[in-house]
Chain A
Amino acid sequence: AQSVTQPDIHITVSEGASLELRCNYSYGATPYLFWYVQSPGQGLQLLLKYFSGDTLVQGIKGFEAEFKRSQSSFNLRKPSVHWSDAAEYFCAVGAPNSWGKLQFGAGTQVVVTP
């Protein structure tokens, strides 16, 4: 069975500082990997995805993520955060050809301070 772990429940970062959110997954092969962001009172928005190929993927809003097979990780990064990046971030894993059935992590709440 597939599973996703986001070790950090809550992260506080200063505006302009770099951000890294951790995600570890458990799956028998290479899964499809996703990062979604949820702003208060809103639905989830896709930031980026990894299916295959280049292990460094670029997403929207200046985010990137790196797939590391050896570490079963898919960490999300942003070089310089903006106050508008305050939100909850979810890592998700899906089996290829599973029609969109995703397993989500518990989420990481990001707070941005001035």
Chain B
Amino acid sequence: DAGVIQSPRHEVTEMGQEVTLRCKPISGHNSLFWYRQTMMRGLELLIYFNNNVPIDDSGMPEDRFSAKMPNASFSTLKIQPSEPRDSAVYFCASSPSSGANVLTFGAGSRLTVL
């Protein structure tokens, strides 16, 4: 099992540009989560999906952020337009429906917005 796969691992972009982060969950996992980690705010849950359906997006900071899960093996987190305060490490995690809250995290995507 390759685990949760995220890409890109590092992204440097300029303010105003569109950023797309990608995640492939573990095969068979029904729930997918996007977290953001910053020094100031720690780990924050942005959004999570169950069976490809968004369940709770209350953590999404604002309308510039959007997430999709078109199928069970792929999800994207998009920021448009990006701002310097979006600089953070974005983690994707997945869990099996039978695993009751046991998350497996990807290695993260470090975003720097200049």
Contacts and interface: CB of A to CB of B under 8 A. Distances in A.
Nearest to A33: B101
Interface string B87-114: 0000101010101111111111000000
B105 A101 contact: no
A100 B91 contact: no
Contacts of B103: 44, 46, 100, 102
User: How many A residues touch the partner, as a band?
Assistant: 20 to 34
- Please report whether the interface of chain B is mostly helix, strand, loop or mixed according to DSSP: strand
Nearest to B33: A100
A48 to B, nearest CB: 11
Nearest to A106: B42
A106 B107 CA distance: 19
Nearest to A94: B101
A99 B55 contact: yes
A14 interface: no
Given A51-B100, A90-B43, A106-B42, A100 B105 contact: no
Contact of A32 (B93, B100, B104, B106): B100
User: How many B residues touch the partner, as a band?
Assistant: 20 to 34
Contacts of A101: 33, 45, 48, 56, 101
Contacts of A84: none
Nearest to B30: A99
Contact of B101 (A42, A44, A45, A98): A98
Interface of A: 32, 34, 36, 41-46, 49, 51, 90, 94, 96-107
Interface of B: 4, 31, 33, 42-43, 45, 48, 50, 55-56, 91, 93, 95, 97, 99-108
Given A97-B100, A99-B97, 7 more contacts: A46-B103, A96-B100, A99-B95, A99-B101, A100-B99, A102-B45, A105-B42
Shortest beta-carbon contacts, A-B, top 4: A43-B105, A104-B43, A100-B95, A94-B101
